[in-house]
Structure 1
Amino acid sequence: MSEGVLLRYDPDHKPATRQRILASAGRRLKEDGIDRSGISALMADAGLTNGAFYSHFSSKQDLVATAIAQELDDQAEAFRAHGSTPEALEFFIREYLTQWHVDHRGDGCPSAALLDEIGRCNESTRKTYSEALMGFIDEMAIALSPGSATVERSKALSIYAVLVGTMQLSRALTDPELAARVLDRGVENAMNALRSL
């Protein structure tokens, strides 16, 4: 390159790069966990060097919080795409508690993959998670009762807790038949909760 020639990036380059980092980090974090996902691995997954990290995030915790919030926002958007109805919530429950979800942690729910580690993160990360989670819970609450979503928040949160806990337990078990029975029972429990509302 001749002296004085500057490389100029398209104005969308930095936001697009940030989104690429968030997408690959979300998957890596869910696959390997927060503690086992170093900045080098997270940046390599995005096809970038460590040097680019600090032009997008102030710290690893900043990246973790932002990636998890993005994952929850994506989950809420996917839920919205099926319509905000009790039938959509039933579909979500049945799709959530599947063997596919057990086997594809990196493509699944951030809460089921990372909840124990999120609980040990700093307050700022937990606050970001809480806000993003409640955005998704509000989507579920709208499906329960379109006219009074705020009243249904606690009910939606209870159903979500059943789903997340069931998924975590099923993933932890070494007996495939027992793990499958846990999933089946989780669907039954979540559906009973949905129908009793």
Structure 2
Amino acid sequence: MVRYAKEHKQATRQRIIETAGHRFKQDGIDGSGISTLMSDAGLTNGAFYAHFASKDDLVANVVTDQLRTQVAGYGTLRPGRQGLEDLVREYLSPGHRDHPGDGCPSAALLDEISRCGDETQQAYTDGARDIVNEIAARLTPANPQSARGKAIGLFTMMVGTLQLSRALSDQKFSDEVLAQGIENALSFMH
């Protein structure tokens, strides 16, 4: 019974983290109060503090979980540069642009993360480093360190392109930004 209770608490905590991740990416960190986040998870406000010390604690956990999930997803890509090309095309797609709640935490939350506390910024830094390392390993498997600069450039190019495409009210211009972003990223890789 004790083990069940512990597993149940962990599953509930994970549900809060996952639903909050979706909500943060959709409405922003500041645009999401604890009552909304708990309602999304099907729980009462009172249950929040059984799992997290504060909203900042939740945000740091969400950022860690989101980036870990993103990096884990890279394992499903084709090996090497082909997988990286697939990633660029998927990342800079209209579907990803139009559904921020299901997408990359960097493109959705970067401006807010820069205003968050140390714990959240550290969680983001660790996750961003893992993403850059994964990109570098795909660019130059024999010597990932040699591709680190290019990996940083590619990551920033992808995130910035997606953010810009989301900010535009003109659909045609937004689509053009995404298409050009893919072309730029692929030529940058070679």
Same fold (TM over 0.5): yes
Aligned to 1:123: 118
Task: Give, in whole Å, the separation in 2 of the partners of 1:12 and 1:55.
Answer: 14
Specify the code of the residue in structure 2 equivalent to 1:79: Y
Q: Is the 8 A contact 1:29 1:37 kept in 2?
A: yes
- 2:62 matched residue in structure 1: 67
Once the two structures are superposed, the pairs formed by residues 1-197 of structure 1 within 5 Å of their partners are: 9-195=4-190
Q: How many residues align?
A: 190
Question: Matched residues in 1 for 2:103 and 2:124: separation?
Answer: 16
Does the CA contact (< 8 Å) of 1:97 and 1:167 recur in 2? yes
TM-score, normalised to structure 1, is 0.91
One-letter code of the match for 1:120? R
- Partner SS, residue 82 of structure 2: helix
Q: Percent identity?
A: 49
Q: CA deviation at 1:84?
A: 4.1
Which residue identity is paired with 2:184?
N
1:88-143: CA deviation from partner (whole Å, max 9, x where unpaired): 00000000001101111100100000111111111221111111111122111111
Matched residue SS, 1:36 = coil
C-alpha change, 1:139 and 1:7, in structure 2 (3 Å) is closer
Return the alpha-carbon distance in structure 1 between the equivalents of residues 35 and 159 of structure 2. 29
Structure 2 Cα separation of the partners of residues 100 and 26 of structure 1: 18
Please say if residues 63 and 120 of structure 2, whose CA atoms lie closer than 8 Å, have aligned partners that are also in contact: no
Measured after TM superposition, the shift of residue 62 of structure 1 is 1.1
Question: CA offset at residue 168 of structure 1?
Answer: 0.6
SS at match of 1:48: coil
Unaligned residue ranges in structure 2 (runs of 5+): none
Q: Normalising by the residue count of structure 2, what TM-score does the alignment of the two structures yield?
A: 0.95
Task: Point out the more displaced range, 87-96 or 53-62.
Answer: 53-62
Alignment check: 8 A CA contact 1:86 1:143 kept: yes
Q: Kindly state the Cα deviation for residue 7 of structure 1 after the two structures are TM-superposed.
A: 9.6
- Report if aligned partners of 1:80, 1:139 keep a CA contact under 8 Å in 2: no
Secondary structure of the residue aligned to 2:107 is helix
The structure that has the greater radius of gyration is 1
